[in-house]
Amino acid sequence: MSHRLSAPAAADPPGEQQALLLAWFETSRRDLPWRRSRDPWAVLVSELMLQQTQVARVAPKFLAFLERFPDVGSCAAADLAEVVTLWAGLGYNRRARNLHQCASVVVERHGGVFPDELDALLALPGVGPYTARAVLAFAFERDVGVIDANAARVLARWQARPLKRREAQELADAAVPPGHGWSWNQAMLDLGATVCTARNPSCGSCAVAATCGWARDGRPGPDPSVGTFGVSGRQSRFADSDRQGRGRLVDALRSGPVTGPDLAAAMGWPADPQRAERVAVTLVADGLVRCSASGVWHLA
């Protein structure tokens, strides 16, 4: 099935709900550094950094990353180890690898120019449905709906019922006022992040509460965002998990190689070298780490 999307339509007057939200956004929008650019490379970097990472942590990392890698070509030409090193503090180091692979593909297959069609974006390493639509909306200003946990929560509450993937995307696409793809999606993300929050939503100060089905009904339980596509549930325990050990090893390798006898301690399991090696091997399989013939571990 083709996902080809048309160019932005001429702006039409938005409907009541749309006009209210856009007006609120104009006066309440967050000043975020990635919003000052329409460069698809900058947009992609920000979106990968923002996945399950707080905005306050991402902002300085985003600026530092773009200072070193101002365009897709500079990232593609760099070693993966340098990209992973700059990713410190952002978690999920596979995203750094995906970003590096994506940059390489854009250079090799697209001459360093990001594609502006959904299918071509989805074919890039590490680019899923959300990220592809974010690039279309925030770099190319296309009229497509962008659904993260915040936007999905808003949509479900407006409809006063949980939403499955296809329905959520259809509603998100239909809600975009023609010609306002960038501002509408940014407004949806801000509304979910600052007003229509997961806990204790501020319905009394919401600009569109009068058009929200859940608010009109008196906010009966259960919250319709629970079980909605894109709204994450409770994460698995991180303390003493394999994920934590992986992160510790990558952090240690950012400072230099780790020898075999030091591996378990670097991963936080000094009394369990078998577990340490088992988990370290998964980083090798992910292309983030390599182990030399002499048993010394390095960033890939």
Per-residue pLDDT of the chain (300 residues; tens, 9 = 90+): 434 444 444 444 568 999 999 999 999 999 999 999 999 999 999 999 998 889 999 999 999 999 999 999 999 999 999 999 999 999 889 999 999 999 999 999 999 999 999 999 999 999 999 999 999 999 999 999 999 999 999 999 999 999 999 999 999 999 999 999 999 999 999 999 999 999 999 999 999 999 999 999 999 999 999 999 878 655 567 788 899 999 999 999 999 999 999 999 999 999 999 999 999 999 999 999 999 999 999 999
Among residues 93, 92, 94, 89, the alpha carbon closest in space to that of 62 is found at 89
d(CA 277, CA 36): 44
d(CA 283, CA 130): 25
Query: H helices of 113-234, where?
Result: 118-122, 129-138, 149-159, 165-175, 181-194, 213-216
d(CA 41, CA 261): 40
Sorted by where each starts, the structural domains of the chain and their CATH numbers stand as 39-138 (1.10.340.30), 242-299 (1.10.10)
pLDDT at 5: 46
User: How many of the other CB atoms lie within 10 Å of CB of 94?
Assistant: 16
pLDDT at 234: 56
d(CA 76, CA 83): 10
Q: CA triplet 224, 228, 233: central angle to 5 degrees?
A: 100
Instruction: Identify the active-site residue in 47, 108, 167, 277.
Output: 47
d(CA 69, CA 50): 17
Angstrom distances, CA of residue 41 to CA of 45, 140, 251, 267, 274:
6, 11, 25, 33, 40
d(CA 215, CA 203): 7
pLDDT at 233: 55
Edge-to-edge strands, sheet with 258-259: 258-259, 296-299, 289-291
Concerning whether 141 is annotated as a catalytic residue, the answer is no
pLDDT at 15: 87
Residue type, 225: S
pLDDT digits over 275-285, tens only? 999 999 999 99
